[in-house]
A and B are shown apart, each in its own frame.
Chain A
């Protein structure tokens, strides 16, 4: 790839804490290499701010290889920026050219309150998992791993759903702030496997109830979530979730 450098204007959301109202601030960065990642460009900006004695911009990030799900920037109106199937940490500056203006915001959803600047609280996702996103098997009472053969197609589909990294881009992209893609990925992963069968009905009912309690919106199936998902989780999982929910709701004994 041909290497080049660029000067950019950044409009970044600054918010001191969850009570602060927040506002955009404008920064200039110079001589940014096209080989940098987007977050490395933010590192440069932050070092610049520190040198000027200003407060650097807080943003979540950790593995920087697209798998931990921690990074979460809403760039020019799109979660994780312009590239398909991508996280911010894997977005590289060759996506931009000299003179570009880039607007960066946090995930915006009632269920994801801002902690500071671009950092939000996504613990609602953990609580949805706590409501049933697991198979109840204590350590030590498993049978031999090959005792239950699983059709390759089903195993592959379960894997495709399990590839969700829990970043929350689906919620950020949704006009209703719905968490249906996240939830459906987990429900599908476990419902497709024979190990998930015993808790299949209670799982989906309890997880949906928790999602509603957390303040996520409803799904109107615009498919914006799939379009921005870094792992390409398909909305067919939402269809499966709806089926699972319906069947469970109709057949589960009232408690």
Chain B
């Protein structure tokens, strides 16, 4: 893992400051804090080996989320955690994985549908469907 000075600078100054955002995305998807930390770590480890092309700020985060999303086990059973904030127990746990990812990408990270579709490997219609299901639960959720 030997990076050129410019790549190292990109990793340290652009990608590393986005680590909280990736952790928050991961936490919403996998619900458990420890699993979210692991996903964040492993995504950065992969990114350090294979840097994405530098983007314009927004697209750097999109590339990061896309890498994390590819690492997720889409068939995984992410059960509601026994401790932690109720938003994970009462809101996200009632959504399917695509809905959690679409909601957090658009309503928290600020992606548009096109960016969310690219990051999550879906088309825009699928993103809208996942997002609307998630927002319905969010609105009716008690958190």
Note whether A and B form a binding pair. no
Q: Give me the interface of A with B, judged by CB distance under 8 Å.
A: none
Q: Give me the interface of B with A, judged by CB distance under 8 Å.
A: none
